[in-house]
Amino acid sequence: MDFISILSIFVLACFVGYYVVWSVTPALHTPLMAVTNAISSVIIVGALIAAAAAGTPAAKWLGLLGVTLASVNIFGGFAVTARMLAMYKKKEKAAPKAGGEA
């Protein structure tokens, strides 16, 4: 791909990001940060390439360290997002203690 194609994808993705993020409900802004954190760890792709194609031991360990750091984020980020999202509940018909008269 030439630079202009890549730049086009980037610019269009910025616009997509702009509209998608404005549509996120403010109540979910913390999960939004956690999930953006998880997906930005797609940088693991670069770390994998670095580890796979390293030419020196130093470069290999840099790559492997990058893979580990990014995986912490991927697993941690998605798991903590899932944990938070599981807590968001609608009003229940029969709340555990409340009589339900709301």
Site for another protein in 9-38 (CB under 8 A): 9-11, 13-14, 16-18, 20-38
Distance CA 76, CA 46 (A): 19
Amino acid at 59: A
User: Least separation, in Å, of the C-beta of 40 and another protein?
Assistant: 4
User: Least separation, in Å, of the C-beta of 15 and another protein?
Assistant: 8
Distance CA 36, CA 78 (A): 9
Distance CA 11, CA 61 (A): 34
Which two structure tokens, joined as six digits, stand for 51? 């580890």
Number of residues that bind another protein (CB under 8 A): 90
Site for another protein in 43-102 (CB under 8 A): 43-60, 62-92, 95-99, 101-102
User: Least separation, in Å, of the C-beta of 8 and another protein?
Assistant: 10
Distance CA 83, CA 25 (A): 18
